[in-house]
Amino acid sequence: MATELEEKVDVNWDDLTFSATPTKSIYLTTCKEDGQWKPGELIPYGDISISPAAGVLNYGQGLFEGMKAYRTSKGNIGIFRPSENAKRVNSGCRRLCMPEIPEELFWDAIRLVVKDNEEYIPPIGKGALYLRPLVFGSGPVLGVKPAPEYTFLIYVSPVGPYFKGAMSGIHLKVVENFHRAPQYGTGGVKAIGNYAGGMYPARLVKTEEFSEVVYLDAREEKYIEEVGAANFFLIKGDVLASPELDGSILPGIIRKSILHLAGTEFGYKVEERKVHVDEIFEGDEAFCSGTAAVITPIISMTYRDRKMIYCDGEVGKKTMELYDGLMQLLLEQRDDPYGWLETI
């Protein structure tokens, strides 16, 4: 029998994938180049019009964020560490010469759009409402310089797992000759332009039945950087290692949270350092993390002609312990001594 939620919106909660479903409304506001952001408004979900000379269309002056709203076991709507997203937006705005967004305005915008689209938040256990804030140069500009006007909008979509069959684990290929980001580029912020370049290597490895690409550092091609659009972790004994943030790796909020949980609650020695690609052949378990990916177990990693299979091809127990620890926080199934979950 259809639940009350299912009757309200036309979404099949049992079949959610990571794809865009139209919802009720979008949050939108604008700002002149040297101006202040005005509090925005909700507009009906749909296409927006934009100048053909917009900075974002011509020169990629834009960034995005990714957040999730979950229904929690206490009947609240929970959002994980939104002030971290607000800070990351602003570090991206500085790097891309866009006006920074006051944290208060960012959080008001999130609350407004989530409340208005509440019916699209999946029932507990079925997925989440993915929030996609975008900040971009919407004003016309022909020379390569900052646009005269900016738009901040947030659209939302109910989503399921980022990787197909995520919880049974994924198979990855370490690529050479394709890099995600150079050291002093924009890899450390969520610049829109960081992502299109990854589509071709991802397409290539998917034809070989891999789920995603693992990037090495652009300077020496020796050290693991990221798993497509997720951060990488390797477990060996009681050590949990993740590549250090050196400017080319996106400082993931789930990454930061896992490192904290692993060190304080799960007894790991946490190491943020360079992770040499050869180390993948010595690890006990590996996984990747992100808002979209949550914690996704890695079953195998292939580098050149060598393939490492973790835990005899099963999902790692230690990975699942960390997954459960994180999910319990996200779903208010345990105390949150860190004050990470904001409810609305």
Binding site for ligand PLP (CB under 6 A): 66, 190, 226, 229-231, 250, 252-255, 289-291
Cβ proximity to ligand COI, 71 vs 255, nearer residue: 255
Phi, psi of 101 (to 5 degrees): -105, 125
The Cα–Cα gap between 47 and 117 comes to: 17
Q: Which of residues 66-105 bind ligand COI (CB under 6 A)?
A: 66
Residue 240: contacted member of ligand PLP, ligand COI, none (CB under 5 to 8 Å, by partner type): none
Choose one: 2-10, 46-54, 219-227, 289-297; the region binding ligand COI (CB under 6 A): 289-297
Q: Where are the beta strands (DSSP E) in 237-344?
A: 239-243, 269-273, 285-290, 294-303, 306-309, 341-343
Radius of gyration of the chain (CA): 20
Residue 255: contacted member of ligand PLP, ligand COI, none (CB under 5 to 8 Å, by partner type): ligand PLP
Residue 71: contacted member of ligand COI, ligand PLP, none (CB under 5 to 8 Å, by partner type): none
Cβ proximity to ligand PLP, 79 vs 141, nearer residue: 79
The reply to whether 292 sits near ligand COI by the rule CB under 6 A is yes
Cβ proximity to ligand PLP, 20 vs 53, nearer residue: 20
The reply to whether 308 sits near ligand COI by the rule CB under 6 A is no
Residue 231: contacted member of ligand PLP, ligand COI, none (CB under 5 to 8 Å, by partner type): ligand PLP
Minimal distance, residue 41 CB to ligand PLP, in Å: 26
Annotation marks residue 190 as catalytic: yes
Long-range contacts of residues 327-334, Cβ cutoff 8 Å, at least 24 apart: 327/294, 329/80, 329/257, 329/261, 330/68, 330/70, 330/72, 330/78, 330/80, 331/70, 331/72, 331/73, 331/78, 331/124, 332/72, 332/73, 332/74, 332/76, 332/78, 333/72, 333/73
The Cα–Cα gap between 322 and 254 comes to: 11
| DSSP code at position 159 | E
Catalytic residue, from 126, 190, 236, 269: name it: 190
Binding site for ligand COI (CB under 6 A): 66, 229, 290-293
Annotated catalytic residues are: 190
